[in-house]
Structure 1
Amino acid sequence: MLDSTLLLAFILGFFILAFIMKRKETMKTVLMSSYTKNLHIPLPPGPVSWPLIGNLPEIVGKKQPVYRWIHSLMKELNTDIACIRFASTYVIPITSPRIARAILKKQDSIFASRPLTMGTEYSSGGYLTIAVTPQGEQWKKMRRVVASHVTSQKSFELMHNKRTEEADYLVRCINNNCVKNQSVIDLRLAVRQYSGNVARKMLLGVRHFGKGSEDGYGPGFEEIEHLDSLFTVLTHLYAFVLSDYVPCLRFLDLEGHEKILSGAMKTVSKYSDRLIDERILKWRDEKMKEPQDFLDMLISVKDCNGNPTLSDEEIKAQITDLMLATVDNPSNAAEWAMAEMINEPSIMQKAVEEIDRVVGKDRLVLESDLPNLSYVKACAREAFRLHPVAPFNLPHMSTADAVVDGYFIPKGSHVLISRMGIGRNPNVWEKPLKFDPERHLKANINVELHDPDLNIISFSTGRRGCMGANIGSAMTYMLLARLIQGFSWSPVPGESKIDVSEGKSDLFMAKPLHAVATPRLAPQVYSI
């Protein structure tokens, strides 16, 4: 029997040969033009590739995820920029802030597009949204709408009470469990549902799709299923699927990704589309006139003729896009930060003392307190650095040949800025694998998640930088501050430390964080 890798190579070679023969002359002309023009400029270092199929066999059947193979390859090559060829696509991973700045700042116009992938097609409703849609008129249109009506400072302030309400709800839920002698808290569930609640409240105006849990505290089945589906989409959004590089193989769905993604997106739509349809109808019947949430804002946008700017499909796709962009980073950063801080009581104590000094113990932390909570914010920033939610940013695609750091980057290349590689780069950070918030505390410098120098990748920068950095930052800081202020935390009985191992296939904690919570404020504070 043939080795599975060789068998796959044979199958891929057969399909790719048929695909390439059809476009042979066109591709030859384009490649020879680029090669002749840049004969003296090398590609970034990378592995030797197979004819036609490139390095696809190297990533098929491996026990480790592709992103780990890429990072180990770059370490072996001792390089911060590499070139890996998957079929006819050049994939360029980058682990250096300096090179990232060259791409996202100096040559942003060339690298501002996105590649077409199966995952992004599903998540964007067929490329109707802002995050993953390639550069073009649709992207420009959605970018204008989102910038003006969703991520503006006015909108941020309008949603303030909704964010605060969900932060209050989080504390009450945990305290209610403690009162019922259920002091072991599933913190992954708590922080993810906080993020989900904030997203649902700001985007759709609801906390629950159903009735919530039986006791009125915490999520119900609907919210858990909805959030799990969102994280499934995020996990598979850019997963090095074979058909992304060899489109003629998509109908085979060899890895099963399309089946998983389509199912997850159906679940997300099942819960949100009904609410969106109902709200659109209310606006058309003039039963609503003033926006109460982001959905209202998207519905109420008019063009110069007074007609709706966005179609129903665009609204639904953009709501999902914003939901995906909201739920992952705050919850992931808070879970990792809490695990690391429980394991390092001295770090937790410094954060507690700062909150008690700035806020006191007679009321809960508010967003207005955050500018004065530098140490707490440094803990969140350190979690972003050491424990990013994903190994890479969403890929950038070059729209023209370019030269970066002395290397030739062909038009159409997929450029991957590594959150993991930059955040753990030993040339940038001393003891990069150590959780040390104080590395971010510098005299007279306000600590923020956004890093314009790209020494950590939080909200990125340039045309494709996250437009909701103010929302993401406020959610992350408040979530972490409320957990630290409201409760003392310790490992579950029988354990002296939290296991901070990463998952085998992703960068989440291998085991959901469970810890013992003990209320540290007066009982009346939790009910305010």
Structure 2
Amino acid sequence: MESPTWAAYALAWLATLALLLLSSHLRRRKLNLPPGPKPWPIIGNLNLIGSLPHRSIHALSQKYGPIMQLRFGSFPVVVGSSVDMAKAFLKTYDVTFASRPKTAAGKYTTYNYSDITWSPYGPYWRQARKMCLMELFSTKRLESYEYIRVEEMNALLKELYTLSGKPITLKDHLSTVSLNVISRMVLGKKYTDESEDSIVTPDEFKKMLDELFLLSGVLNIGDSIPWIDFLDLQGYIKRMKALSKKFDRFLEHVLDEHNAKRKGVKDFVAKDMVDVLLQLADDPNLEIKLERSGVKAFTQDLIAGGTESSAVTVEWAISELLRKPDIFKNATEELDRVIGRDRWVEEKDIPNLPYVEAIVKETMRMHPVAPMLVPRFSREDCQVAGYDIPKGTRVLVNIWTIGRDPALWDRPNEFCPERFIGKDIDVKGQDFELLPFGSGRRMCPGASLGLKVIQSSLANLLHGFSWKLPSNMKVEDLNMDEIFGLSTPKKFPLVAVVEPRLPLDAYSL
């Protein structure tokens, strides 16, 4: 009997391959995927995403509905754009969607996914979350640092008083106070002070943080089309690696100083968050050892998260108020009535200032710092709203769209804090129409600190000063464009003029 020829083998191989492709095609056809635009070969729907992805995706969701499937290169992406979808992804199926996709930003800027934000769901992340809730952001620890927040706020108010009548770039001053507060709480001192032994200047450090936020939020083509990742077509990976080196040099210096301070001290008492992290790293009972790289990743996360969000939110709030003098008037009337004109606002006063709280909520509705939250990742196949979401799907929750839903908000494009007066809507992750810090297991662990800093900063800025635009600017000239990264700040920083509105002796802080 004649043995089979190579041609016969090849034919059998091709037939098997055809059957496999057909069966996989048939299996795929059975999936009931959410609606969405038809993807192009290779790039998927990336051609539909502009420089402000949350707005591009918002426009698509108006056409395809509150749950929509896109394709970014090789990866399926499902977007939820309604309260019901936010609740499904962040609460009902929270565990299923509790992981993070692997991205270049996570790999190169967070010590290979060692931080709180980008680490995948599992024992390491669960331990990190527990550290945040029990140690780093416990109510007791945050209260113990209140004096730092007060001192730095007083320094800002004093500085603004000296600049009365001159145009100031508000974001610069807000970033400085946020960075000083976070540096003292996390690192124990202002490492960015202009001194001979400072490892970075304040300006360099702010630029590093801006770059970190931009690179963590960019749409890096290689994350979507992995086989061209090595080409680094946009140059982002080169920038990530350079930034990582700068941060590592700084963080090594911080850890060395902290370890030297602890050396040989019996019963050492942790004074700042790095001390706490180093003590945890020494703990032999931890389920997963916290390595030095993990301490550095956590520290970087704490500094970046705490600095950017509060400065961005307060700048947006003041920008919106400059366009609405009546809202400014209502806020200052409340402050004068509740606080009086002979003292400054304290954190404990905030619950007695519902109008100021409403301004903060309205700012977070219209200008969420992370408009699509940080992406999630499905750990297993599941069904949401009757649609199949296969394992490995990336998930975005577009809170920017939810904040503009006319079914939820009357005149959604108008800045109107009154909408929150008398309404029991908070920003702590339980009211899905307003989720600036996210919700569920992956909610921002520093939300309570961020809220304290934002509310007290804004209240004191409104209480202490009258605000106006420079004399050569009209209200209609105020540009409200934004730029997109992991945070969404104003494209053109706000320049304003301040004048004291309290008795002059109030400023001798």
Give the TM-score of the pair, scaled to structure 1: 0.86
User: In the alignment, which of 441, 464, 468 is matched to residue 490 of structure 1?
Assistant: 468
Give, in angstroms, the shift of residue 117 of structure 1: 0.1
Q: Any idea what SS the aligned residue of 1:83 has?
A: strand
User: Partner residue of 2:82?
Assistant: 96
Give, in angstroms, the shift of residue 286 of structure 1: 2.2
> What letter matches 2:455 in structure 1?
Y
Q: Distance in 2 between matches of 1:129 and 1:419?
A: 24
1:277 aligns with 2:256: yes
User: Partner residue of 2:12?
Assistant: none
- The aligned runs of 1:45-444 (5 Å cut-off) are 45-59=35-49, 64-75=51-62, 77-178=63-164, 183-211=166-194, 222-286=201-265, 289-301=268-280, 302-304=282-284, 310-442=290-422
Retained in 2: the 8 A contact 1:499–1:511?
A: no
Percentage of identical aligned residues: 32
> CA offsets per residue over residues 447-498 of structure 1, 9 Å max, x none?
6432412112211111111122210110110111111011111111122316
Q: Any idea what SS the aligned residue of 2:442 has?
A: coil
Please give the root-mean-square deviation of Cα atoms over the aligned residues, in Å: 2.7
Q: Any idea what SS the aligned residue of 1:91 has?
A: strand
> CA offsets per residue over residues 332-363 of structure 1, 9 Å max, x none?
11111101112211101111111111111111
Q: Distance in 1 between matches of 2:407 and 2:45?
A: 28
1:35 aligns with 2:32: no
* Alpha carbons of structure 1 residues 504 and 161: separation in structure 2 relative to 1, 3 Å: closer
Give, in angstroms, the shift of residue 176 of structure 1: 2.0
Q: Distance in 2 between matches of 1:30 and 1:132?
A: 36
* Alpha carbons of structure 1 residues 509 and 58: separation in structure 2 relative to 1, 3 Å: closer
Q: Distance in 2 between matches of 1:74 and 1:373?
A: 36
Give, in angstroms, the shift of residue 28 of structure 1: 6.5
> CA offsets per residue over residues 23-65 of structure 1, 9 Å max, x none?
x99x9699669637xx2x5211111123454334555xx6x44
> What letter matches 2:269 in structure 1?
E
Q: Any idea what SS the aligned residue of 2:451 has?
A: helix
* Alpha carbons of structure 1 residues 34 and 105: separation in structure 2 relative to 1, 3 Å: farther
Retained in 2: the 8 A contact 1:230–1:264?
A: no
1:473 aligns with 2:451: yes
User: Partner residue of 2:3?
Assistant: none
1:462 aligns with 2:403: no
* Alpha carbons of structure 1 residues 432 and 524: separation in structure 2 relative to 1, 3 Å: same
* Alpha carbons of structure 1 residues 293 and 29: separation in structure 2 relative to 1, 3 Å: farther
Give, in angstroms, the shift of residue 150 of structure 1: 0.2
Task: Return 106-115 or 299-308, whichever deviates more.
Answer: 299-308
Task: Return 125-134 or 223-232, whichever deviates more.
Answer: 223-232
Q: Distance in 1 between matches of 2:370 and 2:183?
A: 22
Q: Distance in 1 between matches of 2:482 and 2:317?
A: 16
User: Partner residue of 1:8?
Assistant: none
Retained in 2: the 8 A contact 1:95–1:425?
A: no
* Alpha carbons of structure 1 residues 406 and 308: separation in structure 2 relative to 1, 3 Å: closer
Q: Distance in 2 between matches of 1:258 and 1:338?
A: 35
Give, in angstroms, the shift of residue 122 of structure 1: 2.4
* Alpha carbons of structure 1 residues 159 and 146: separation in structure 2 relative to 1, 3 Å: same
Q: Distance in 2 between matches of 1:323 and 1:87?
A: 33
Unmatched segments (≥5 aa) in structure 2: 1-16
Task: Return 226-235 or 501-510, whichever deviates more.
Answer: 501-510
Structure of larger gyration radius? 2
Q: Any idea what SS the aligned residue of 1:369 has?
A: helix
Q: Any idea what SS the aligned residue of 1:71 has?
A: helix
Q: Any idea what SS the aligned residue of 2:182 has?
A: helix
Give, in angstroms, the shift of residue 265 of structure 1: 3.1
* Alpha carbons of structure 1 residues 242 and 306: separation in structure 2 relative to 1, 3 Å: closer
Unmatched segments (≥5 aa) in structure 1: 1-23, 214-218
> What letter matches 2:305 in structure 1?
A
Retained in 2: the 8 A contact 1:300–1:308?
A: no
User: Partner residue of 2:7?
Assistant: none
Q: Any idea what SS the aligned residue of 1:420 has?
A: helix
> CA offsets per residue over residues 286-322 of structure 1, 9 Å max, x none?
2881111111111122435599953222111100011
1:44 aligns with 2:22: no
Q: Any idea what SS the aligned residue of 1:392 has?
A: coil
Give the TM-score of the pair, scaled to structure 2: 0.89
> CA offsets per residue over residues 80-108 of structure 1, 9 Å max, x none?
22111123311112211111101111111
Q: Distance in 2 between matches of 1:33 and 1:143?
A: 42
1:517 aligns with 2:503: no
Retained in 2: the 8 A contact 1:489–1:516?
A: yes
* Alpha carbons of structure 1 residues 280 and 28: separation in structure 2 relative to 1, 3 Å: farther
Number of residue equivalences? 487
